[in-house]
A and B are shown apart, each in its own frame.
Chain A
Amino acid sequence: MSGMNNGNLVEIRDLRVDFPNPSGFTQAVRGISFSMGREKLGIVGESGSGKSVTGRALMRLLPQAARVRAEALRFDGIDVLGASERQMRTLRGGRIGLIMQDPKYSLNPVMTVGRQISEAWLAHNRSGSGGGGKREARDAALTLLEQVRIRDPKRVLGSYPHEVSGGMGQRVMIAMMLAPNPDLLIADEPTSALDASVQAEILKLIEDLVSARGMGLMLISHDLPLVARFCDRVVVMYAGQVMEELPARDLHRAQHAYTRGLLDCMPSLSKKRARLPTLTRDAAWLERHA
């Protein structure tokens, strides 16, 4: 790749996102900074902590009303905030893939799954090789569905989004985003509706892509054990701020009370508990970074 400036695929410095409300602004992201190379970065944190908003800001996919400011927001050397709309279009779905959190909601309800994947594939293969035919696109779609371990890909190709199960919809979305061979994949809860065995296979597939093609992965998830096992580094977010950043394999030994709280409130197969502890939030967590 051309713009491999000091190895950083993504560089975020002091990103702030505010949404207008009737009486002023709500701060969704309050000054976060991190950078990542072609590696697997996990972003964890409770609901509403600004994980998805961060991912969308990087693709400039936030609603128009949102106010986005940053000292630096770069993808592969490109200044995302300053880029033209045209430049952004080639990035989105081309060099950056985004697997949305609500897959079935993001698929077009009146178009078959097969057509949606083929179109994603065509949009980014037509220009390059000169001939991206309809047939070829269909075959590519079929292969992609097989890759995401869908059992009868032929039938699913002809199904509408409401005719596939929750986990299948999620995998269709993954297939669509892998179609154009992105440099960076932002996966927002990509496997939340999948059982452990399919989840493991999909993550294996993504892992292969990361190591074979040097793709970067930003895995947004609330599943801490998964992130710990699968990623290289983890960023822990709370209320729009980064609480801590640590190597993924140390996540189980995290010191911060917030991270510990998140780890504790999961039910466990090995030990039975009558009630699950819930998170008690500490006002001091916010001040630390304010």
Chain B
Amino acid sequence: MSQLPMIAIEHLDVHFGSSHVVRDISFSVAAGETFGLVGESGSGKSTVLRTIAGLNPGWDGRMAVAGQNLGPRRDRAFFRRVQMVFQDPYGSLHPRQTVDRILAEPLEVHGIADAEARIARALEEVALPHTARFRYPHQLSGGQRQRVAIARALIADPSVLLLDEPTSALDVSVQAEVLNLLSDLREARQLTCILVSHNLAVIAHLCERLAVMQGGRIVEILSEAELRAGRAKHSHTQDLIALSYELEG
């Protein structure tokens, strides 16, 4: 890679009390690239994302975003640059706040003006109807909630987006819309993304490269072409690919 990677992770370890959840992980993501993270349930994918986002305190190793090393605490500028979409759209929206309020929050925190216009534009970008703006989360379907979560992540113009299973709770038609939306936004805004998913087809659709995790370790990093062609070296990856093909029938 010619220029500095946007995200660099070196020898990352994460502990929760006595359990060692992520073990010696290293990877890097170039600016504008989308990097996939797959692996079995409980292998530590969400933990990696949450640790980058500063939501897990117990880690060692080196992490850098845009060339700046990350410390134990993140400043406001970091959250302007890095945003995350959580795995569970049912749990990640405040149950007492309307969509409008949820979207206004990042703007208020960062002191961004023209909130009105930005919220309207954000809703339009994720193709939410205007009627959804003053609703509460429980009045929206799962797919609509996830789009609100994506709109919230994008509203303060981040350059890095951490996506934790953004479409696994969505039906296939909404999944298609969200995937199209993500690829459009990525083009338009030069976003760098890390995408966690258990669906290899989704990963192949969006990512240039991906890492396969098992038991807290990265067992293999491969490119989209290698994935599609089934040229994996590790047996776990081969199993996953074989199963995915079988399901596609």
Contact = CB atoms under 8 A, between A and B. Distances in A.
Q: Are A and B direct contacts in the complex by CB distance below 8 Å?
A: yes
Interface of A: 45-48, 101-102, 104-105, 150-151, 155, 163-168, 171, 189, 192-198, 200, 222-226, 228-229, 252, 261-262, 265-270, 272-273, 275-279
- For the complex of A and B, the 4 pairs showing the least CB-CB separation, nearest first, are A167-B41, A222-B171, A195-B198, A265-B176
B240 A276 contact: no
B33 to A, nearest CB: 17
A166 B165 CA distance: 10
A222 B175 CA distance: 10
B142 A101 contact: yes
Contact of A104 (B88, B177, B183): B88
Interface of B: 16, 19, 38-42, 46-47, 87-88, 90-91, 141-144, 165, 168-177, 179-180, 183, 198-202, 204-205, 215, 227-228, 239-241, 243-245, 247-249
Given A198-B41, A225-B247, A278-B176, 14 more contacts: A101-B142, A163-B16, A164-B42, A165-B42, A166-B165, A197-B240, A197-B243, A222-B171, A267-B176, A269-B201, A269-B204, A269-B245, A270-B228, A275-B183
B201 A200 contact: no
Contacts, number: 142
Contacts of A279: 173, 176
Given A196-B240, A270-B228, A279-B173, A166 B205 contact: no
B198 A194 contact: yes
Contacts of A45: 171
Majority-rule SS of A interface residues: loop
Given A105-B91, A193-B165, A197-B40, A267 B201 contact: yes
Contacts of B228: 269-270, 272
B132 to A, nearest CB: 12
A267 B46 contact: no
